[in-house]
Copies of this chain bind each other. A is one copy, B any other.
Amino acid sequence: MYTVICDAVLDLVSGGATLSSLSLVRISRDTGISRNSIYRRWKSKEQLYSDVVKSIERQLPDLTELSARENLFVMMKTFDGAVERSKGRMEQAIVAEAQNFPDLHEQYLIEIVAPFDHAMKLAIRRGKETREIRADVDENLLAEVLVSSVSAGMSSNHREGQDFESASRRIIDLVFDGVSPK
């Protein structure tokens, strides 16, 4: 039942439901699990959401001996591929309603964002060691630019599924090469 409910929440949120407007009645109807059982398992909607967040942990990829561009591409692909679109939507919903669910947002930052952020900066630092990235580049800024570009492209609906990979590569190339003449 546990995973059934969590997946249903991901689907509903992915389908446009808001964390605050999503009701247990709806979840109960969608899953076929009685509202009663849900109340027995979770004392509140927040606690249910908390378990949903735990269910979307990504396993971060190890750094390869490939180029820095390739490593960062793999990281961005991990951040949100077309495969696990529902997870991305959930995260989007959490950020959008951070003020309504502060504890949930904090949990999200600690369990999801921070590890990914750490891995991202590790990949950047590796790129500096191999001289593929200049030493004076701000790691935080670079990571933020890359991640936000990808997540924005994910939420803007004019870019769908298969374009994701090429878009990520082009973003990486743009940021690596810069736009001014050399």
Which residues between 129 and 154 of chain A lie within 8 Å of chain B, taking CB atoms? Answer: 131-134, 137-138, 141-142, 144-145, 147-149, 151-153
Interface string of A144-177 (1 = CB under 8 A from B): 1101110111011100000000010011001111
A174 touches B137 (CB 8 A): yes
Q: Which B residues are CB-close (under 8 A) to A97?
A: 16, 18
Interface string of A54-67 (1 = CB under 8 A from B): 00000000000000
Give min CB distance, A55 to chain B, whole Å: 21
* Chain A residues touching B, range: 35 or more
Option from B100, B170, B177 in Cβ contact (under 8 Å) with A18: B100
Give min CB distance, A154 to chain B, whole Å: 10
Docked Cα-Cα span, A157 to B142, in Å, equals 18
Docked Cα-Cα span, A149 to B141, in Å, equals 9
- Is A3 positioned at the interface, with any CB of B under 8 Å from its CB? no
Closest to A96 in B: B96
Q: A100-B18, A153-B148 are contacts. A133–B176 as well, Cβ < 8 Å? A: no
Closest to A16 in B: B99
Q: Which B residues are CB-close (under 8 A) to A100?
A: 16, 18
A132 touches B98 (CB 8 A): no
A174 touches B175 (CB 8 A): yes
Enumerate chain A interface residues (CB-CB to B < 8 A): 15-16, 18, 20-21, 92-93, 95-100, 131-134, 137-138, 141-142, 144-145, 147-149, 151-153, 155-157, 167, 170-171, 174-182
